[in-house]
Amino acid sequence: MAKNKSFYICGECGYRTLKWMGKCSECGEWGSFVEEVEIKSGTSTSNINKKLTNINESSKKVFSFQDVIIEENFRYTTEISEFDRLLGGGLVKGEVVLITGNPGIGKSTLLLQLIGEYTKYGDVLYISGEESPMQIKNRGKRLGVTHDNIFLMSETDMTNIYEYISLKKPKVVVIDSIQTIYNSTYDSMPGTPTQIKECTMKIVELAKSLNIPFFIVGHITKEGKLAGPKLLEHIVDAVFSFEGEEGLFYRILRSSKNRFGSTNELAVFSMEEAGLREVKNSSEFFLSEREEKNIGSMVVPILEGTKVFLLEIQALITDMNIGIPKRIVQGYDRNRIQILTAIGEKIGKMNLGMKDLFVNVPGGITIKDPAGDLGVVISILSMYRGIPISQKIAAIGELGLRGEIRKVFFIDKRLRELEKLGFKGVYVPISNKKEIEKNSYKLKLIYLKNLEEVIERMVE
């Protein structure tokens, strides 16, 4: 008879131990261990003989490269083209996509809208462990998702889910959420690391063997991390996270992992009465409410995944009241701002020793692209010197410690986006000149070698 075994598992990294630990010796997380009971189904030596007799079964899972047939049009597409772009051009059959986000951000809304779109390929299944079929249908009515071939399943037992899907083979499946599903082989509660991991592995097995794509909703913790073992992200094919500030009507969906498309892609949606609506021209969206000329503000074309976003960088400098000077940064790496401020102080002859500095990127996006550096320093210098900058001019360039402006990648894409939005001119690194001159642009191109040249121009 199988013996129940109790152990502790780290919710962060999945590390197992027989004794409880305050701090995980593997990933260093505090208070992350939960007790779980596992029922061993038996992997003793007697089973090995049984396994050997199953060798024929195993060989069915081996294919020669030649035998693998690639289906054409193997991606399901929707009318929500921004979402398809995030997936890498549509949903791949058999892929498992994890969607995470804060409570109430719009995960179920998006998935119901998507499942409605996928009905054109056949029957689709929406499994919810959180809401009743009536609640889901009600939401569907509001969103205009009323297709007859959407099947709603109110189930949390993985065995029943497995059986139903194996039998009915729907075209697309949504599981809302993974934290509510459990595998009765294990004694632990739904939502515990073992349950989440085991159920996800079962889902992946189903997805791959039947070639059915799955969307799994995953809740996140207060700290903004995915609730459950980190290794969950390794098991699935793609991880998308929903971001957005409370009270604001727009939502950003970001891909942090994608086996069938590029990562760090970003799409903007607005949350409306009729559901999530894609914002195709997101640059316009981020740049609204701006004046002709501004002090302490500069627009930068930033690359997020494969798409360019025009974002505004704002700087504010005030006299310090007490203590040490503040450096408050939102939307940019704080250490990077310290470096850029130091370069600006040295080359631009600024003295910020007794000043508080605030840098902000409105819109909720955090810039990781170093091409934003030049825009940051220009905003700070403009604020420090009180020189207004035309808002029809943008800046592109990474800054070196000596103030040199370094070459950036994908310059053509960035310039095209600026052109599209009616910008008149742009500061660009001179090292990009050769590449830029291969094409023609309606923009006035201001080539720069270093920060000194920027400062000379600002005085003009």
Ligand X SMILES: Nc1ncnc2c1ncn2[C@@H]1O[C@H](COP(=O)(O)OP(=O)(O)OP(=O)(O)O)[C@@H](O)[C@H]1O
* Positions in the binding site for ligand X (CB under 6 A): 101, 103-109, 130, 142, 271, 273
**Cβ of residue 108: shortest distance to ligand X, in angstroms?**
3
**Cβ of residue 104: shortest distance to ligand X, in angstroms?**
4
**Cβ of residue 264: shortest distance to Mg ion, in angstroms?**
25
**Cβ of residue 435: shortest distance to Mg ion, in angstroms?**
46
Of the pair 124, 227, the CB lying nearest ligand X is at 227
Of the pair 142, 290, the CB lying nearest ligand X is at 142
273 binds, among Mg ion, ligand X, none (CB under 5 to 8 A by kind): ligand X
Of the pair 140, 403, the CB lying nearest ligand X is at 140
109 binds, among ligand X, Mg ion, none (CB under 5 to 8 A by kind): ligand X
DSSP letters of 309-321? EEEEEEEEEEE--
Place of tokens 């600024």: 350
Helix (H) or strand (E) holding 283: helix 282-286
Of the pair 246, 460, the CB lying nearest ligand X is at 246
122 binds, among Mg ion, ligand X, none (CB under 5 to 8 A by kind): none
106 binds, among Mg ion, ligand X, none (CB under 5 to 8 A by kind): ligand X
What's the token pair of residue 438?
């291969």
Determine contact, residues 340/352, Cβ cutoff 8 Å. no
**Cβ of residue 236: shortest distance to ligand X, in angstroms?**
18
103 binds, among ligand X, Mg ion, none (CB under 5 to 8 A by kind): ligand X
Of the pair 226, 287, the CB lying nearest Mg ion is at 226
Q: Other C-beta atoms within 10 Å of 342: how many?
A: 13
**Cβ of residue 123: shortest distance to ligand X, in angstroms?**
22
Helix (H) or strand (E) holding 419: helix 411-420
**Cβ of residue 109: shortest distance to Mg ion, in angstroms?**
8
Of the pair 176, 304, the CB lying nearest Mg ion is at 176
- For residues 89-148, which are near Mg ion according to CB under 5 A? 108
Determine contact, residues 252/242, Cβ cutoff 8 Å. yes
- Partner residues linked to 251 by β-bridges: 269
What's the token pair of residue 383?
């604020």
Of the pair 271, 399, the CB lying nearest ligand X is at 271
Q: Is 55 helix (H, G, I), strand (E, B) or coil?
A: helix
CA angle at residue 21 from 18 to 25, to 5 degrees?
95
Report the candidate in 93, 397, 106, 142 with the shortest Cα–Cα distance to residue 267: 106
Mask for 279-318, x = binds Mg ion (CB under 5 A): ----------------------------------------
What's the token pair of residue 430?
């001179």
Distances (CA, A) of 319 to 351, 355, 377: 11, 5, 19
Determine contact, residues 327/341, Cβ cutoff 8 Å. yes
Q: Could you give phi then psi for residue 367, rounded to 5 degrees?
A: -80, 125
78 binds, among Mg ion, ligand X, none (CB under 5 to 8 A by kind): none
- Written in H, E and C, the secondary structure of 236-284 is CCEEEEEECCCCCCEEEEEEEEECCCCCCCEEEEEEECCEEEECCCHHH
Of the pair 227, 317, the CB lying nearest ligand X is at 227
**Cβ of residue 96: shortest distance to ligand X, in angstroms?**
18
Query: Cα 41 vs. chain centroid, distance in angstroms?
Result: 38
| 179 touches Mg ion by CB under 5 A | no
**Cβ of residue 176: shortest distance to Mg ion, in angstroms?**
6
CA dihedral 270, 226, 256, 13 (to 10 degrees): 180
- For residues 15-54, which are near Mg ion according to CB under 5 A? none
Q: Other C-beta atoms within 10 Å of 43: how many?
A: 9
Of the pair 271, 343, the CB lying nearest ligand X is at 271
101 binds, among Mg ion, ligand X, none (CB under 5 to 8 A by kind): ligand X
Q: Other C-beta atoms within 10 Å of 301: how many?
A: 28
- Residues at the interface with Mg ion (CB under 5 A): 108
